[in-house]
Amino acid sequence: MEYISCAQARPMAGLRLVLSAGSPGPWGEAAKSIFYARGVGFVAVAQNSLADNDELFAWTGTRNAPVAVYDDEKPRHSWLDILFLAERLGSGPSLLPATREGQAECVGVSHQICGEDGLGWNRRLDIFNMLVAQAGGDPTKTMLPLRAFKDYGGTTDAMAASTGRLIAILSMLDTRLQRQKAAGSRYLVGDALTATDIHFAAFFGMIDPLPHDLNPMPDHLRMLYSSGSPGLRAMVTPELRAHRDFVYRDYLRLPMDF
């Protein structure tokens, strides 16, 4: 993917999407896919993972990605704000169900994937926990800056609990898919593609990355994303993997480009 700098992007009009350059971060991949599914073009702006990103902070108030900035509107940092922006700017089938009840269900399940204490959040803590264990229990001897632990709730208790929370979320999603299938639907919510399916497809890559020809991610990151306890690896069920593959194959772009 071709990127421009924050300095180049800041005076521009239209949609600029800040992404972690060269890495398939799940929040960024979800944002890209949401805009793609809604037919919204954007200019990609580079953020460097785990760096200070001072120019980005001066522009958007955050050092992290993704961030969506449309014209002179406020920067949008959260997965939910990005979804609502895509809904407003895009065209074609909505990624939210038509009813308020369906919308609440969609957003609620997506929060279990994208939100604080959700799938991505706990998988990140699970990886932190593994890296700290490999460093003899000393976070200062890992590849991560201490700011990362602070920013993402990386306390000893939260890291220790992360694997169990991950397994519970994946079990819920697997059960939901099976229940939906029994009711005649291929989707996590309702009977059509929603943002929840896209969010799941993007975040499942933190546990089971697509093969290299479809996801040419750095080898060290693939090793981390493919790691985990036996209990976690057992939750890479045929149903979850098939649903991820279905969403990418039928609705999103492959190979992934980052």
Tell me the average pLDDT across 53-78. Answer: 97
Q: Tens digit of pLDDT for each residue in 216-240?
A: 999 999 999 999 999 999 999 999 9
Query: What is the pLDDT, as a whole number, of residue 226?
Result: 97
How far is residue 9 CA from its own chain's centroid? 23
135 shares a domain with 68: no
217 shares a domain with 146: yes
CATH code of the domain in which 117 resides: 1.20.1050
Residue located via tokens 């790691």: 227
* 257 within some domain: no
Last residue of a domain, one of 38, 60, 89: 89
d(CA 196, CA 154): 26
144 shares a domain with 42: no
* 208 within some domain: yes
CA neighbor of 160 nearest in space, from 140, 144, 141, 137: 137
Last residue of a domain, one of 34, 69, 89: 89
12 shares a domain with 132: no
244 shares a domain with 182: yes
Tell me the average pLDDT across 55-71. Answer: 97
* 173 within some domain: yes
Residue 182 Cα distances to 48, 108, 176, angstroms: 44, 21, 10
CATH code of the domain in which 30 resides: 3.40.30.10
Domains held by the chain: number: 2
118 shares a domain with 154: yes
Q: Tens digit of pLDDT for each residue in 177-206?
A: 999 999 999 999 999 999 999 999 999 999
Give residues with Cβ within 8 angstroms of 241, minimum separation 6: 204, 208
Q: What are residue 201's phi and psi, to 5 degrees?
A: -60, -40
* 203 within some domain: yes
79 shares a domain with 132: no
DSSP readout, 181-222? Answer: HHTT-SSSSTTS--HHHHHHHHHHTTTSPPPTTT----HHHH
Give pTM, 2 decimals. 0.96
Tell me the two tokens of residue 20.
């972690």
d(CA 21, CA 3): 8
Q: Residue 143: pLDDT above 90?
A: no
Query: What is the pLDDT, as a whole number, of residue 148?
Result: 84
Q: Most confidently modeled of 4-8, 139-143, 154-158?
A: 4-8
- Domain that residue 230 falls in: 100-251
Tell me the average pLDDT across 138-158. Answer: 88
Mean pLDDT (the chain, rounded): 96
Tell me the average pLDDT across 74-81. Answer: 98
85 shares a domain with 111: no
